[in-house]
Amino acid sequence: MYAVNELTGDHSYDKHLKPHKQLWAGLEYVLFRTGPVASNLAEGGAFWFAGRASALARHPVPLHGGLGSGARAGEAEELRRDAQLRFSASARARQRAAATPAIRSRLRSSIPTTGAIPYDRKISIEGFRIARRIMASPAFKPFVLAERLPGPHVQTDEEIAAYAGKFSKTDYHPVGTCKMGVDSMAVVDTSLRVRGLQGLRVCDSSVMPRLVSSNTNAATIMIAEKASDHILGKLAV
């Protein structure tokens, strides 16, 4: 989920969407290895904590500043002057599949107000409020004209949840399909061996029983290092 704000001028990478500026950006990178093509487009990031209550005090919310609206083809042209502050609504979501899942992302449906994931809903809403407060801070005042999505009229928890159901999207760090553990739901044991099979290990992010509170790259590298040590006999089984 993200908050999109109209900027006071051409402060974002969206200005490079014009064909002649795209051409120059490409040449600048080829010749000098600089310019917008050299950017990862999310050059600022932070972790915030979603709430003061004890249940939320240690729940990190990853924030990523996007120097562009992220507007897709067919969306309002005025959004192409904007910037977004995007956050992963729940780095440690508690919802779990209780049976073999049929994957239906239902990204356009509303975040439930009751049932299995009230905790995840609460974190999503609080994370959005954090993003909104940052973009409305005095430091951004020279650059931010106004919030456009969802807009200042969206204020209540129910309104934010409805916006999240319409505009939320997946991020890039799925884990957990081959959970490591010792319980009946575990696919691999603590040595990364697939239970019930000989000579097969899994050594990627799918073995994480829970999502880490950051990008998965470093943790996945360490899982692979551990697997190689097991295979080479450097670690006791």
The ranges of the chain annotated as CATH 3.30.560.10 are: 2-167
Q: What percentage of residues in the chain have a pLDDT greater than 90?
A: 24
**For position 6, what pLDDT does the model report?**
81
DSSP 90: -
Q: Note whether 123 and 141 are within 8 A (CB).
A: no
pLDDT value at residue 103:
63
| Residue 138 preceded by cis peptide, ω within 30 | no
Q: In what order do the strands lie in the sheet with 44-49?
A: 44-49, 60-66, 82-87, 2-7, 144-149
The confidence band for 120, taking pLDDT boundaries of 50, 70 and 90, is confident
The distance of Cα 84 from the centroid of its chain, to the nearest Å, equals: 13
The more confident residue out of 95 and 178 is: 178
- 15 CB burial (10 A radius; 0-12, 13-18, 19+): middle
Instruction: Dig out the tokens for 4 from the structure.
Output: 């999109």
Any bridge partners for residue 146, and if so which?
6
Dihedral in degrees, nearest 10, Cα atoms 212, 165, 117, 112: 180
Q: Which residue has the higher pLDDT, 201 or 65?
A: 201
pTM: 0.68
* Residue 182, both tokens: 């010792």
Chain centroid to Cα 105, Å, comes to 15
Q: How far is CA 59 from CA 118, 145, 168, 210, 221, in A?
A: 14, 31, 19, 13, 24
**Residues paired with 40 in a beta bridge:** none
Q: Which two tokens mark 214?
A: 């950051």
Single-letter amino acid, residue 150: P
CB 135 within 8 A of CB 144: yes
pLDDT band at 122 (very low <50, low <70, confident <90, very high): confident
Q: pLDDT digit string (tens) for 85-107?
A: 555 455 555 556 556 666 665 55
Active site (annotated) includes residue 173: yes
Comparing 13-17, 51-55, 92-96, 120-124, the range with the smallest average pLDDT is 51-55
Contact 113, 232 (CB under 8 A): no
165 — pLDDT class (breaks 50, 70, 90)? confident
Tell me which of 62 and 25 has the higher pLDDT: 25
Cβ–Cβ under 8 Å, residues 69 and 82? yes
Closest of 151, 145, 158, 113 to residue 132, by C-alpha:
151
Q: pLDDT band for position 10 (50/70/90)? A: confident
Which residue in 59, 64, 173, 230 is the catalytic one? 173
* Model pLDDT for residues 60-74, shown as the tens digit of each residue: 677 777 776 555 544
CATH no., domain 2-167: 3.30.560.10
